[in-house]
Amino acid sequence: MAVRQIRVMGDEILTKKCKPVKEMTGRTMDLIEDMFETMYEANGCGLAAPQVGVLKRIFVVDVDDGNQYVMINPEIIAQEGGQTGYEGCLSLPGKSGIVTRPNYVKMRALNENMEPVEVEGEGLLARALCHEYAHLEGQMYVELVEGELVDTNPETGEEIIEE
């Protein structure tokens, strides 16, 4: 496993739509392991393949609910409600903005064994699933920010208030 370089906003790869994964290979399994390691090293709760320079429809999520999610070729099959709150991104470090996302989402995908799975999430898990899914479509959260981006503390994610 290895920590990969996270691409930052302005990198053209973050604007491209990702290609479906047709089969699990050793390289793809290494990518998934590297994505988890990279995400944890950066103190994130989700990471999509284009954020490490790979245009594959894969993302990983861990929101401290006791599960690690590997989502390959995901599709949103249901969403309900809304939640509005601060959101950040490993591809735009030190910034956050207010974004509205569904409060509930259900996704269908393949796991790391290329087996079909369905994942349902509310709150933070729903936000993370939708955020990472958007990366696979070439979209970043800044396109949804209500108001201005603000500086955040990289350690806590809390807004830095200049006095």
Question: For the residues of the chain, what is the DSSP string, one character each?
Answer: --PPPPP-TT-GGGGSPPBPP-S--HHHHHHHHHHHHHHHHTT-SEEEGGGGT--BSEEEE--SSS--EEEEEEEEEEEE--EEEEEE-TTSTTEEEEEEE-SEEEEEEE-TTS-EEEEEEETHHHHHHHHHHHHHTT--GGGT-EEEEEEB-TTT-PBPPP-
pLDDT at 66 (0 to 100): 87
Q: Which residues are catalytic?
A: 132
18 is in an annotated binding site: no
Is 135 known as a binding-site position? yes
Q: What is the pLDDT of residue 163?
A: 45
Annotated ligand binding at 131? The verdict is: yes
Per-residue pLDDT tens over the stretch 58-113? 999 999 888 999 999 999 999 999 999 999 999 999 999 999 999 999 999 999 99
Question: Looking at domain 12-151, which CATH architecture does it have?
Answer: Alpha-Beta Complex (3.90)
Domain boundaries, the chain: 12-151
